Structure 1
């Protein structure tokens, strides 16, 4: 058993502990910590179930499932926080997820992969396409904030909400077209990454010694559904105790949303990206990390805008200006180091240093 699997298996103990903490009315901080730790292995199981289903249904449908469930944990946490009226926390989680994937995950992948291999290569064309898509998403979520800031808040709430909803629909359309681009019309650009995924799946089948059957498919679909329900339950516990817990810890909602919650929701995905980078699969590593950022910006964020309207908790795309400054910094430096299709350990250090500086700034950012 690998170290990663051992750690995630050990963390499963926090599922019954968090449930007991809730029903036995333990301190809110204890419930918050145990439920947060319980979500980490559950997120890993969502990824495992999706991968197993992909082996049966093939790369096309599997790619769609990966695109759909890639950030399922974060989406569930965000929806529950939105229902609780924690709109600022949800917005901070969106920007924090983009920042952590681009700087923390890619940074660790380049650093640890670069320490093992002098220089690593990946598809520069895919990197440029991803960079262009991220620039579009960044511009789209920046404009509502810019309009509201320039007009000194003169834009009426209903107009800002209408603008945000229209932008959300455009971003979801672009996300759908990107899936069509990567899985249908221009699959040859992603052939290296797909080959690595298929090789890993083939090795997994050989290791088990069994061909995948219909029974296996339904089993993993069942696992996916059960784990998703457990993630929703643990997210309820996490959100319900969030405010008193972070108050006890001396943290702000902004820091919690930007730094803490994305790490909890993305820990399994982060571990996967770093692990494959250490195996010299930088195409797959960047596909996981940057692809996750794109999914947050083009699908999760706009979807939350529409869900907010549906559940009576409207959320617009008017972000804290400093959050967007941090996202701009993350996008610019990541695009800069990935544009040549090569990486080394020093570039990883640069990304991690940027993330650390931003994290410190968010920690000391004054509350209003």
Structure 2
């Protein structure tokens, strides 16, 4: 990564947000109050998530396409996974479930909505691979079914115990992880050509720019990114995210109560916005460059990873830790996820997007956000 790209406007914002890390630690040790710790820790996680993403991309560039793709697929939602693991360990099961459904909703509606809206205002119509969109739609439909069935079993059975639901959830989680592995095999091995269109266009643009610029030889012979430096950045960022997540989760209940918010609204709306901030910026940036293939891939791919990998991993980890984590979700959350997947699949099925479709996604997210805000407190949730 060049100095110019590091100090771009977007990255300068993330660098500026790093100041909230020492502020949050100071607020914790000097006992400034739960609300101050909660807000500053949340803001501190945003730049760390961005640097984790940058480090993963740089390591992937050195490691090669196969290993690099696996790294991106594994660490793409590391921030959300870390926050969820901390909350799971603290016994905040309902907050974990809410953050999972919220991440899916946020990526499909908020991230993709802003990308299509702003990209559509700059370009009349943008295109992306419709075949990939259909494959992603099928995967998301499977995720909805997998989340729906354990809840349906619970609601249609009399006297079913929690252990049975958790055992069912673990079995479903194993199937989802296998499907996630198959999707990686599909995208990185057997059908890579479907996913390389946007990358190839980007590389052609870069080559054209290099040809027009002076000093082509120096550019080509520039040293590759230092692998160990970026590994260090990834490790330090991961450690700091874990620390900030402890502060965030530790003050969540008291802080949200002072703000007049339920844990349901916090988990579904606030936490995913914090965890998805870096992906949001990336999706919008590439959409403004008319690289809608990559933008949709970031938004939908992140939702797929949450549904097919992060949620199943949390179920299995909860099983090992003795925590009652399962796939029996709040029905209202499932309705929100189903609605999000339905409209996202409908809009992306033709492989074209415009500003109005982006506005429709954002309007749907706004309506769901209002519904979660006014949703009454439920036992175990608020």
Structure 2 residue 188 is matched with structure 1 residue 183:
yes
The residue aligned with 1:146 is 152
Secondary structure of the corresponding residue to residue 31 of structure 2: coil
1:83 pairs with 2:83: no
The structural deviation recorded for 1:55 is: 1.6
Per-residue CA deviation, residues 228-250 of structure 1 (Å, 9 max, x unaligned), is 00000000000000010000000
2:235 maps to 1:225: yes
**Aligned partner of residue 221 in structure 1, secondary structure:** helix
**Deviation at residue 62 of structure 1 after TM alignment:** 0.9
CA distance in 2, matches of 1:343, 1:240: 41
The answer as to 2:278 corresponding to 1:268 is: yes
| Counterpart in the other structure of 2:224 | 212
In the alignment, does 2:370 pair up with 1:365?
Answer: no
Change (3 A) 1:121 1:311: same
Residues 147 and 117 of structure 1, relative CA distance in 2, 3 Å threshold: same
Correspondence for 1:65 among 67, 71, 92: 71
Is the partner of 1:340 in helix, strand or coil?
coil
Aligned structure 1 segments of 4 or more residues deviating by more than 4 angstroms: 196-209
Q: Distance in 2 between matches of 1:177 and 1:222?
A: 30
Give the Cα separation in 1 of the matches to 2:305 and 2:66.
17
Equivalent in the alignment of 1:288: 298
Partner of 1:243: 253
Question: Partners in 2 of 1:178 and 1:194 — Cα distance?
Answer: 19
Q: 1:334 aligns with which of 331, 335, 344?
A: 344
- How far apart, in 2, do the equivalents of 1:209 and 1:295 lie? 36
Alignment of 1:1-368 (within 5 A): 1-151=7-157, 154-195=159-200, 210-212=222-224, 216-368=226-378
Given that 1:55 and 1:201 are in contact with CA atoms closer than 8 Å, whether structure 2 keeps it comes out as no
CA shift, 1:311, in A, is: 1.8
The structural deviation recorded for 1:207 is 7.0
TM-score normalized with structure 2 length: 0.92
What is the TM-score when the length of structure 1 is the normalising length?
0.96
RMSD of the TM alignment (CA)? Answer: 1.8
Distance of 1:16 and 1:94 partners within structure 2: 28
Whole-angstrom CA distance in 2 between matches of 1:49 and 1:199: 24
Give how far 1:189 is off.
Answer: 1.1
Change (3 A) 1:177 1:201: farther
TM-superposed CA distance for 1:9, in Å, is: 1.0
Deviations 1:260-302 (A, max 9, x none): 0000011011110011001100000001000000000000000
Is the Cα contact below 8 Å between 2:166 and 2:319 reproduced in 1? no
Shift of 1:54: 1.6
Contact 1:193–1:287 (8 Å) recurs in 2:
no
Aligned pair count reads: 365
Q: Displacement, 1:147?
A: 1.2
Provide structure 1 residue ranges, at least 5 long, that are not aligned to the other structure: none
Contact 1:74 1:265 in 2 (8 A): yes
Unpaired stretches in structure 2, ≥5 consecutive residues: 1-6, 211-215
1:2 Cα deviation after fit? 2.8
| Residues 35 and 201 (structure 1), Cα distance of their counterparts in 2 relative to 1, 3 Å cut | farther
SS of the aligned residue for 1:328 comes to helix
